[in-house]
C-alpha cells in the first residue's frame, strides 16, 4: 500500500470516528419506534439508524464547496439531516435515483449577435420573427453525448455538417460552436453581426464556454446531492416500515459510493484547451516541415 493511500485511509477512519462520536452525543433521537410508524423529522430516528447514515454523511461532505474542514463535521451532519427531511417524510412515495438535468436552450447560450438580414431559406416559415433582420442570435456550445439532447429542431431535419456555417469544430472532436436563432434553428456565422458586448468572436466563445461550464457544474452538483439524499430517504422508508426491533438494514441498492458520484465532469474549457494544444503542435510541425 502506498503512503498516499495509507494516509487517505487513516484520514477516512478518523473522520468516521469523529462522526460516530457526534452521533453518540446527539440527544435528538428516539429510543424506539413501532413498525410502520412514519419518520417525520431527524429526531424520529434512533441512534443506531443515524449511525447507519454515516457513510452518506461522509459522501455528502465530500460534495460541499468548499469541502468542510476538521471540526466542521457536526455542522455538516446536521445540514445533511436537514436536507433529507426538507419537504419530505417517510410515508411519501418512493424516492427513485435522480437523473442529470438536461441542458435548456437558450439558458446555456450567449446572445452574441443579431441577424444582418432576413434569413428565411427554402420557404421556411419564420417562427415569431426569429429569422428577420435584427433578430437576436445565440452562440451555443455542444458536447457529445449531449448533442442529441440539446439540439431540439423545430423541423425534423437530419444533422448535417453544413448547418454549422463553418463555426463548429469537426464532429469527430465531439464538441463545437453553433450559431442559433431564438428558436434553436442554426444560422450561418456570415449572416451575424456581433453585439456591442463583444469586441471579437473569441470573446464571445470564451463567454459561452464559461457559461456552459458553470451550468454543467451546477447540474452535476445538484445530481450528486440528490443521489446521496434519495439513498438516505430510501433507507429511512425501510426503517420506518421495519420498526426498531431489528438492526437498521442497508440494502445493496441503497448504497452509494464515490464511483456512483459524477466527479469526472467533462467541461467545455477542457475540450477547448485540449484542441488548441493539439492545433499548436500541428502548427509547430508544419513550420518545421516547411523550413
Give the DSSP letter string of 17-44.
HHHHHHHHT-----S---TT----SGGG
What is the rounded distance in angstroms from the CA atom of residue 46 to the CA atom of residue 8? 30
Backbone angles phi, psi at 145, to 5 degrees: -90, 15
Query: pLDDT tens digit string along 15-56?
Result: 889 999 999 999 999 999 999 999 999 999 999 999 999 999
Cell (9 digits) for 258: 464515490
Cell (9 digits) for 211: 457559461
Q: Which residues in 3-35 are b (16+ Cβ under 10 Å) and which e?
A: eeeeeeeeeeeebeeebeebbeebeebeeebee
Single pTM value for the model: 0.74
What is the rounded distance in angstroms from the CA atom of residue 104 to the CA atom of residue 158? 20
pLDDT bracket for residue 178 (50, 70, 90): confident
Cell (9 digits) for 16: 468516521
pLDDT bracket for residue 124 (50, 70, 90): low
pLDDT bracket for residue 121 (50, 70, 90): low
- Looking at residue 186, the DSSP 8-state letter turns out to be B
Position 11 scores a pLDDT of 55
Indicate the domain borders of the chain.
1-101+220-285, 109-211
Query: pLDDT tens digit string along 187-204?
Result: 888 889 999 999 988 899
- Looking at residue 181, the DSSP 8-state letter turns out to be E
Cell (9 digits) for 289: 516541415
Statement: residue 152 has pLDDT above 50: no
pLDDT bracket for residue 153 (50, 70, 90): very low
Q: How many CA atoms does the CB half-sphere of 214 hold within 13 Å?
A: 10
Amino acid at each position: 500500500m502506498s503512503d498516499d493511500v495509507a494516509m487517505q485511509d487513516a484520514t477516512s477512519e478518523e473522520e468516521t470516528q469523529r462522526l460516530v462520536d457526534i452521533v453518540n452525543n446527539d440527544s435528538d433521537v428516539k429510543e424506539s419506534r413501532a413498525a410502520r410508524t412514519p419518520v417525520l423529522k431527524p429526531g424520529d430516528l434512533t441512534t443506531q439508524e443515524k449511525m447507519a447514515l454515516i457513510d452518506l454523511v461522509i459522501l455528502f461532505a465530500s460534495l460541499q464547496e468548499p469541502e468542510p474542514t476538521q471540526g466542521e463535521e457536526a455542522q455538516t451532519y446536521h445540514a445533511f439531516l436537514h436536507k433529507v427531511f426538507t419537504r419530505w417524510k417517510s410515508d411519501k412515495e418512493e424516492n427513485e435515483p435522480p437523473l442529470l438535468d438536461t441542458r435548456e436552450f437558450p439558458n446555456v447560450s450567449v446572445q452574441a449577435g443579431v441577424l444582418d438580414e432576413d434569413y428565411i431559406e427554402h420557404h421556411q416559415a419564420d417562427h415569431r420573427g426569429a429569422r428577420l433582420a435584427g433578430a437576436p442570435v445565440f452562440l451555443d456550445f455542444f458536447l457529445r453525448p449531449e448533442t442529441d439532447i440539446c439540439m431540439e429542431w423545430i423541423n425534423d431535419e437530419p444533422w448535417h455538417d453544413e448547418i454549422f456555417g463553418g463555426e463548429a469544430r469537426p464532429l469527430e472532436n465531439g464538441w463545437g460552436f453553433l450559431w442559433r436563432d431564438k428558436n434553436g434553428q442554426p444560422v450561418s456565422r456570415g449572416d451575424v453581426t456581433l453585439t456591442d458586448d463583444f469586441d471579437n468572436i473569441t470573446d464571445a466563445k470564451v463567454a459561452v464556454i464559461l457559461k456552459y461550464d458553470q451550468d454543467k457544474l451546477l447540474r452535476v452538483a445538484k445530481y450528486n446531492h440528490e443521489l446521496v439524499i434519495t439513498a438516505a430517504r430510501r433507507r429511512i422508508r425501510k426503517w420506518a416500515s421495519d420498526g426498531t426491533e431489528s438492526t437498521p438494514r442497508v440494502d445493496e441498492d441503497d448504497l452509494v459510493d464515490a464511483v456512483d458520484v459524477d466527479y469526472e465532469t467533462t467541461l467545455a474549457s477542457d475540450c477547448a484547451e485540449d484542441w488548441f494544444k493539439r492545433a499548436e503542435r500541428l502548427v509547430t510541425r508544419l513550420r518545421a516541415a516547411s523550413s
